[in-house]
Chain A
Amino acid sequence: MPRLPNLTLLFLAVLLALPARADWFGPDEPLVVTVNSAYIDVYSGPGRGYPIFHALEHGETITLLKSRTSWIKIATDKGVEGWIKREAMASTLDPSGQVPDFTDEYRSDAVVGRFELGAGFGDFGGADSVTATLGYRFTRNLTLEARYAQQAGSFSDSEIIAAGLLHQPFPEWRVSPFLSVGAGIIKIQPSATLVDTEDREDSVLQASLGTYVYLSRRFFMRLEYTNHYLLTTRENNDEVNEWRVGFNVFF
């Protein structure tokens, strides 16, 4: 059952992604805000490609119904229902006269469009590993990452070059869990003292579960468990588990 840990990781991640406050069937008070800009476009669906079919006017009150990704479904007093961009919430006022809190803290929005550089050290199935990563955060939740790692073990040395996608369901949390998948190449050089010392180059798939621990605005610690799945040319694929601790900096 070589793939099972990856699957378990996925479901753990799905569970983690469930909203912390599970008011899904909320019979709560409606969330009513007032439009505080000249107009707000209303789209027919939760995406920028759907047509704009209505415009909210200044001073109009709207009810917030639900959100999907970065879109919010609203209803007007006259019964028009549609979707507005999440950013449009900055152009509204809640009943207390404040702009509703749809702003992210520094740990999320502040770092969109930024690079992060990190180094980590870990245990790669008994071998020591050193990893360097370069990431680019292109949405609030997603970071694209390039990884280079070297492992030194008793029977063989290896290096991995990989690219990955990292998802943080709750980037605003101080301790923010993440899930990551990646793929790359592993080069394995068996120790010269062993017979049959042929160097190998295999594809490797990586699934990681870990957490960011934000230490300051620009700096965080990263704890991570990675499942490396080596697609070998031999009869069986290999699987290596890695534990890693690292530090990253935004720039």
Chain B
Amino acid sequence: MASRLQRIFLAALLALPGLLWAQEDDPLEPIVGADIERRDISEDMLDTENFEFGIYGGVLGIEDFGSNSVIGANLAYHITEDFFVEAIYGVSEANKTSYELLSGAVELLTDEEREFSYYVLSLGYKIFPGQVYFGSGTAFNTHFYITAGGGNTEFASNRYATYTFGAGYKFYATDWFALDIGMRDHLFTHELFGESRQTNNFEGRLGLSIFF
């Protein structure tokens, strides 16, 4: 599935230069643009910056399978000043359970089955906008956010419907570049130990985002 995702992203990237070229092939542009001083201004002429792309890394506690490093990427679209939607894809790898360590020889999962990946589609809400100050002359914008969403987790050669709740803090170094300190909780139910078990998989993360 990862490769399919990549293909979609790549297709989107490949399509972009085409869009950019498309508007430059009009030879009449300089002539028509001569009366630029008198032109009417409309909203379409203004550059919009509602998308956000980010990468992150952190620690994911996979319940019963230890704390593990996680990396991922996210794409968000800011719908209003309050709401945004985001898609997240992250990968990690599960450690051994305590039982496996204590018993010595028992292996619950193969190496391949320990690969852990998830994707989440969430709705986010931005709260507590504000500023932080460095010295007397510099201020940076910040806000907190909360998210809720769902997706799928692939783990132990199975796919589990996953609910994800999160919160975080965003620090804007510039309008278009931000630092993201956040946490997510991925909830899913598995039956790896025989009986059905709801797990909370907490993730602490540090990310960088650009807006475009």
Please report A residues at the B interface, Cβ cutoff 8 Å: 1-4, 6-8, 10-11, 14-15, 17-26, 28-29, 31, 33, 44-51, 64-73, 89, 94-96, 98, 100-102, 139, 141-142, 165, 167, 181, 205, 231, 237
Report Cα–Cα, A71/B211, bound state, in Å: 14
**Contact of A51 with B131 in the complex, beta carbons under 8 Å:** yes
Residues 14-54 of B, flagged 1 when their CB comes within 8 A of A and 0 if not, give 01100110110000000001001111111111111110000
Interface size class of B (residues with CB under 8 A): 35 or more
Tell me if B128 is interfacial: C-beta within 8 Å of chain A.
yes
Provide the residues of chain B in CB contact with A26, threshold 8 Å: 47
**Contact of A23 with B23 in the complex, beta carbons under 8 Å:** yes
Provide the residues of chain A in CB contact with B175, threshold 8 Å: 46, 68, 73
3 closest Cβ contacts across the A-B interface?
A49-B129, A101-B42, A94-B41
**Contact of B43 with A68 in the complex, beta carbons under 8 Å:** no
Q: What residue of chain A has the Cβ atom nearest to residue B5's Cβ? A: A7
Say whether, besides A66-B48, A141-B80, A95 and B130 are in contact (CB < 8 Å).
Answer: no
Name the one of B39, B40, B83, B130 contacting A50, with C-beta atoms under 8 angstroms. B130
Return 23 A-B CB contacts under 8 Å, by A number. A3-B151, A3-B152, A7-B121, A8-B8, A15-B15, A17-B77, A22-B22, A47-B129, A49-B128, A49-B129, A66-B48, A67-B46, A68-B211, A69-B80, A94-B39, A96-B40, A100-B41, A100-B42, A101-B40, A102-B42, A139-B79, A231-B161, A237-B161
Tell me if B123 is interfacial: C-beta within 8 Å of chain A.
yes
Name the one of A23, A33, A45, A47 contacting B41, with C-beta atoms under 8 angstroms. A33
Report Cα–Cα, A74/B120, bound state, in Å: 35
**Contact of B19 with A22 in the complex, beta carbons under 8 Å:** yes
Of listed B139, B175, B212, residue having the most chain A CB within 10 A: B175
Report Cα–Cα, A66/B49, bound state, in Å: 7
Q: What residue of chain B has the Cβ atom nearest to residue A22's Cβ? A: B19
Tell me if B202 is interfacial: C-beta within 8 Å of chain A.
no
Work out how many contacts link A and B, with CB atoms closer than 8 A: 139
Tell me if B169 is interfacial: C-beta within 8 Å of chain A.
no
Say whether, besides A96-B38, A100-B42, A23 and B47 are in contact (CB < 8 Å).
Answer: yes
Apart from the given pairs A45-B129, A46-B175, A100-B42, 10 other A-B contacts in the complex at a CB distance below 8 Å: A24-B212, A28-B45, A31-B45, A66-B46, A70-B80, A70-B81, A100-B40, A102-B42, A181-B121, A205-B150
Q: What residue of chain B has the Cβ atom nearest to residue A237's Cβ? A: B161
Report Cα–Cα, A47/B77, bound state, in Å: 16
**Contact of B49 with A67 in the complex, beta carbons under 8 Å:** yes
**Contact of B8 with A11 in the complex, beta carbons under 8 Å:** yes
Provide the residues of chain B in CB contact with A70, threshold 8 Å: 80-81
**Contact of A14 with B47 in the complex, beta carbons under 8 Å:** no
Report Cα–Cα, A49/B127, bound state, in Å: 9
Report Cα–Cα, A46/B19, bound state, in Å: 28
**Contact of B46 with A64 in the complex, beta carbons under 8 Å:** yes
What's the minimum C-beta distance from A93 to chain B, rounded to whole angstroms? 9
Q: What residue of chain B has the Cβ atom nearest to residue A20's Cβ? A: B44
**Contact of B46 with A142 in the complex, beta carbons under 8 Å:** no
Provide the residues of chain B in CB contact with A18, threshold 8 Å: 19
Provide the residues of chain A in CB contact with B87, threshold 8 Å: 10, 14
Say whether, besides A11-B8, A96-B38, A4 and B129 are in contact (CB < 8 Å).
Answer: no
Provide the residues of chain B in CB contact with A19, threshold 8 Å: 48
Report Cα–Cα, A71/B79, bound state, in Å: 12
Residues 184-204 of B, flagged 1 when their CB comes within 8 A of A and 0 if not, give 000000000000000000000
**Contact of B46 with A22 in the complex, beta carbons under 8 Å:** no
Name the one of B12, B19, B20, B85 contacting A11, with C-beta atoms under 8 angstroms. B12
Say whether, besides A4-B4, A47-B143, A100-B42, A25 and B152 are in contact (CB < 8 Å).
Answer: no
Provide the residues of chain B in CB contact with A72, threshold 8 Å: 46
Provide the residues of chain B in CB contact with A100, threshold 8 Å: 40-43
Provide the residues of chain A in CB contact with B48, threshold 8 Å: 19, 66-68
Say whether, besides A14-B77, A69-B80, A70-B81, A45 and B39 are in contact (CB < 8 Å).
Answer: no
